[in-house]
């Protein structure tokens, strides 16, 4: 043990990582600096002119509590946020369906690195009092996933517990109504709560239901963990009760986001202090790094709020506005095909498109001149207009169309208008990074869905109807029931746990609205895949590397071997599935040019097909392997 100026350093022979215990000095009403680097209080009541300038935080890189709010510096304390919160009326209850039994899941194998991370996590959370040893008959499985910075995060898979939990149907705030309150505002402060869910206790007597198994023991959570189905509703009710008399007057709250607004700048300081005071009284803490004070504009829930009024965030249509200028007839047709879906909402659509549609004529040389360029930009900008893009309404049904190619993912969020016509709410697409490009097609399609949910979280989390997801990958319909998930899929399932949704299969030929984004030519340039190289790869089972079973002992790894899967099929050559798969090869678009050369290997294939032919193998029984896996044709019946 060593002692250094208000800090005790503890080392233990069994734990290679030292534990720091910080002794906080008494709270005094003096200027307080809060540094994002340590996210904790740095109190210096004795600071004088002799203080070494190098030891003073740089406000340019370390956010500082504004001087007028330093009396509330404890509200931004990470140390305080890491303390076990008290029981309140708002504790999170886990009410189970009658007759249901909480799951007792598998104990997953962990690597040596993960075991070290697990011990550190257990030590840290036991010290905080966030978890405790358990004798519960329940036990959800755990595993680690890598964060973007390469560090490990422990995840508890509560899917089975959530499936038997009675759902709390309390609605989240209507975004449209909230935004209406801001139209006269002139100054804004935004607060973001630190570890919001961990600031709420599990209802006394329900802790055993959160139990999870590890190599080092059985534990249960005393605070609301990430991944429980009713957590958003519980937290919103908590916040609503605390600030009920301030809501809509000068406060809007959406889960852990607090927006304080004032029409009169002279009143804003008192408004902010009132909110900070209530956070302190209820032992809630803000994350200074994500807070903004006294600004004249803010992006909030998909809108840009400023002293000039409220406008829709152009981010909802940015992927359309960024659509690159076509350089060929094929690229132009892709854009016009997408735009045509919304022609009934675009004023003077046909007239606007004249300069573009004439380029599609056979006797016209393709030249993207000034008139075509003007029409292209006008058409793109029309998607940001109120005539096309609708405001989200959580009381209306929601459809989410998603797609993935070999190099990009995309989503289109829509709702019906008063005439029942599907109106777009927002568009999203992006190029996949190199690691994502290596995912199997099942995970790419799932990534498109999860990415869309993250982008439109504020809209989708408060939906009153199950979100209808449309994808051209049929196997996604069985995502809920599959026993085998890889680590990535478990992480994604925890993200999706917060939403009500239904998977719907839509054949690729009918999913062209969203697929236009994933085929944008700028996503392929300099990327990791080319559109011409992409196989619409479908597998017989969505089995990945390092699978985990979520409701029992792990299956024999041999069962997950593609060769075994093939053997099971070939042993039943007369089975319906094998017959349908082979019949589907004859009409599969991807195989149209390749099949003749697979059947006759001695035939000289064109150079542009050589790369794809190397990936394919025609087995004696007629089945085709794509890089060693059974290739399933793009057939609606399959």
Arithmetic mean of pLDDT, 118-143: 94
How large is the average pLDDT for residues 164-169? Answer: 86
Positive or negative, the Cα torsion across 190, 194, 195, 199? negative
pLDDT at 27 over 50: no
Beta 292-295 vs 212-214: how paired, if at all?
unpaired
Distance of CA 179 to CAs 52, 175, 205, 263, 396, Å?
47, 6, 39, 14, 18
Task: Give me the pLDDT at residue 402, please.
Answer: 94
Interatomic CA distance for residues 431 and 476, integer angstroms: 21
Is it the case that residue 536 has pLDDT exceeding 70?
Answer: no
Q: Does the pLDDT at position 149 exceed 90?
A: no
Is the domain of 24 the same as that of 115?
no
d(CA 469, CA 476) in angstroms, rounded, equals 10
Among 533, 549, 569, identify where a domain stops.
533
- The verdict on 133 and 74 lying in the same domain is yes
- Better-scored residue on pLDDT, 502 or 363: 502
Same domain, 195 and 129: yes
For residue 525, what pLDDT band results from cuts at 50, 70 and 90? low
Is it the case that residue 9 has pLDDT exceeding 70? Answer: no
- DSSP assignment, residue 415? E
| Pick from 249-253, 420-424, 480-484: least confident | 480-484
Band the pLDDT of 542: cuts 50, 70, 90. Answer: very low
Q: What is the mean pLDDT of residues 219-230?
A: 91
Percent of the chain with pLDDT over 70: 76
Whether residues 372 and 411 share a domain: the answer is no
| CA atoms 505, 511, 514, 516: torsion sign | positive
Can you give 60-73 as a three-state secondary structure string?
A: CCCCCCCHHHHHHH
pLDDT at 223 over 90: yes
> pLDDT tens digits, residue range 468-477?
999 988 778 7
Considering 382, 410, 434, which residue would you say is the last residue of a domain? Answer: 382
Res. 333: pLDDT tops 90: no
Query: CA 33 to CA 22: how far, in whole Å?
Result: 16
Give pLDDT, residue 32: 35
Question: Which one of 353, 382, 411 terminates a domain?
Answer: 382
Residue 282 resides in a domain: yes
Radius of gyration of the chain (CA): 28
Residue 525 lies in a domain: yes
Instruction: Examine residue 26 and state whether it is found in any structural domain, yes or no.
Output: yes
How many domains does the structure of the chain reveal? 5
What pLDDT does 52 receive? 40
Is 60 exceeded by the pLDDT of residue 404?
A: yes
In a domain, 390, yes or no: no
Q: 216 and 158 in one domain?
A: yes
* 415/63 Cα distance (integer angstroms): 40
Interacting residues of 39 by C-beta distance below 8 A, sequence separation 6+: 78, 194, 287, 288, 289
183 and 245 in a common domain:
yes
Label residue 243 by pLDDT band (50, 70, 90).
very high
pLDDT, greater one: 44 or 588: 588
Task: Give the mean pLDDT of 76-96.
Answer: 94
The reported pLDDT for the residue numbered 6 is 42
Q: What is the pLDDT of residue 309?
A: 64
Q: How far apart are CA 319 and CA 431, in angstroms?
A: 11
Tokens of 486: 């890889």
Give the least confident one: 20-24, 201-205, 243-247, 422-426: 20-24
CATH of the domain at 122: 3.10.10.10
Structure tokens at 594: 């390749």
Kindly state whether residues 142 and 287 are assigned to the same domain.
yes
Q: What is the DSSP letter of 503?
A: E
Enclosing domain of residue 249: 66-311
Over range 431-456, report the average pLDDT. 90
Task: Name 221's bridge partners.
Answer: 131
Residue with token string 């380029």: 359
CATH of the domain at 502: 3.30.420.10
Do 363 and 510 fall within a single domain? no
Query: Which ranges of 97-205 would DSSP assign to H, the alpha helix?
Result: 112-128, 159-163, 175-180
Domain-embedded: residue 637: no
Helices (H), 45-111: 78-81
Tell me the C-alpha distance between 635 and 294, whole Å.
57
Q: What is the dihedral of CA 331, 335, 336, 342, to 10 degrees?
A: 170
Residue 219 φ then ψ, to 5°: -135, 160
Say if 555 falls within a structural domain.
no
Q: Are residues 373 and 464 in the same domain?
A: no
Whether 638 is covered by a domain: the verdict is no
Say which range, 216-220, 334-338, 506-510, has the weakest mean pLDDT.
506-510
For residue 106, is it within any domain?
A: yes
Same domain, 179 and 272: yes
| Contacts (Cβ under 8 Å, ≥6 apart) of 436 | 409, 444, 447
Judgement on whether residues 303 and 332 belong to the same structural domain of the protein: no
Tally of CB atoms within 10 A around 149? 5
Confidence (pTM): 0.59
Would the pLDDT of 528 be above 70?
no
Do 288 and 155 sit in the same domain of this protein? yes
Res 441: pLDDT: 86
Confidence (pLDDT) at 155: 84
């Amino acid at each position: 043990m060593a002692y250094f100026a208000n800090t005790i350093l503890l080392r233990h022979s069994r734990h290679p990582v030292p534990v720091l215990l910080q002794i906080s000095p008494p709270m005094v009403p003096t200027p307080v600096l809060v540094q994002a680097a340590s996210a904790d209080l740095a109190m210096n009541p004795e600071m004088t002119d002799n203080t070494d300038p190098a030891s003073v935080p740089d406000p340019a890189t370390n956010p500082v509590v504004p001087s007028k709010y330093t009396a509330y510096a404890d509200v931004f304390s990470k140390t305080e946020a890491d303390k076990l919160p008290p029981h309140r009326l708002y504790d999170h209850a886990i009410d189970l369906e009658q007759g249901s039994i909480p799951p007792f899941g598998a104990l997953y194998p962990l690597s040596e690195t993960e075991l070290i991370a697990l011990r550190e996590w257990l030590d840290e959370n036991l010290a905080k009092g966030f978890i405790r040893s358990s004798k519960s008959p329940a036990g959800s499985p755990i595993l680690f996933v890598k964060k973007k910075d390469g560090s490990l995060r422990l995840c508890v898979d509560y899917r089975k517990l959530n499936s038997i939990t009675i759902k709390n149907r309390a609605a989240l705030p209507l975004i449209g109504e909230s935004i209406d309150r801001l139209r006269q505002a002139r100054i804004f402060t935004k607060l973001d709560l630190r570890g919001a869910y961990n600031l709420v206790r599990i209802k006394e007597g329900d802790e055993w239901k959160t139990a999870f198994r590890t190599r080092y023991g059985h534990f249960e959570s005393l605070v609301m963990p990430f991944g429980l189905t009713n957590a958003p509703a519980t937290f919103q009710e908590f916040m609503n009760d605390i600030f009920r008399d301030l809501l809509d007057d000068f406060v809007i709250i959406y889960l852990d986001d607090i927006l304080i607004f004032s029409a009169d700048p002279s009143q804003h300081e008192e408004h902010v202090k009132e909110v900070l005071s209530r956070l302190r009284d209820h032992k809630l803490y803000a994350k200074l790094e994500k807070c903004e004070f006294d600004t004249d504009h803010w992006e909030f829930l998909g809108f840009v709020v400023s002293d000039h009024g409220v406008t829709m965030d152009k981010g909802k249509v940015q992927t359309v506005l960024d659509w690159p200028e076509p350089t060929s007839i094929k690229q132009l047709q892709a854009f016009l095909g997408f735009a045509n879906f919304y022609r009934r909402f675009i004023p003077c659509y046909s007239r606007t498109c004249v300069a573009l549609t004439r380029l599609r004529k056979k006797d016209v040389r393709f030249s993207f001149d000034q008139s075509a360029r003007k029409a292209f930009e006008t058409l793109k900008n029309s998607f940001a207009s109120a005539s096309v893009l609708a405001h989200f309404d959580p009381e209306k049904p929601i459809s989410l169309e998603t797609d993935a190619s070999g190099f990009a993912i995309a989503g289109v969020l829509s709702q019906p208008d008063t005439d029942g016509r599907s109106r777009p709410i927002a568009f999203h697409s992006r190029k996949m990074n190199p690691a994502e490009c290596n995912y199997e097609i099942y995970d790419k399609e799932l990534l498109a869905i999860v990415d869309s949910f993250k982008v439109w979280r504020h809209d989708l989390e408060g939906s009153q109807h199950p979100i209808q997801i449309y994808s051209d990958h049929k196997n996604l319909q069985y995502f809920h029931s599959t026993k085998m998930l890889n680590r990535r899929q478990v992480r994604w399932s925890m993200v999706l746990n917060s939403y009500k949704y239904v998977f719907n299969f839509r054949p690729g030929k009918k999913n062209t609205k969203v697929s236009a984004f994933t085929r944008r030519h700028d996503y392929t340039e300099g990327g990791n895949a080319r559109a011409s190289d992409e196989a619409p790869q479908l597998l017989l089972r969505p089995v990945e590397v390092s699978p985990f079973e979520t409701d029992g002992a792990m299956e024999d790894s041999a069962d997950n071997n593609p060769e075994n899967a093939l053997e099971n099929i070939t042993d039943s050559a007369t089975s319906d599935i094998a017959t349908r798969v082979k019949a589907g090869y004859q009409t599969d678009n991807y195989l149209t040019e390749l099949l003749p050369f697979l059947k006759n290997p001695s035939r000289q294939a064109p150079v542009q097909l050589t790369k794809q032919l190397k990936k394919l193998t025609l087995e004696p029984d007629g089945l085709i392997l794509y890089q060693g896996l059974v290739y399933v044709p793009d057939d609606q019946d399959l």
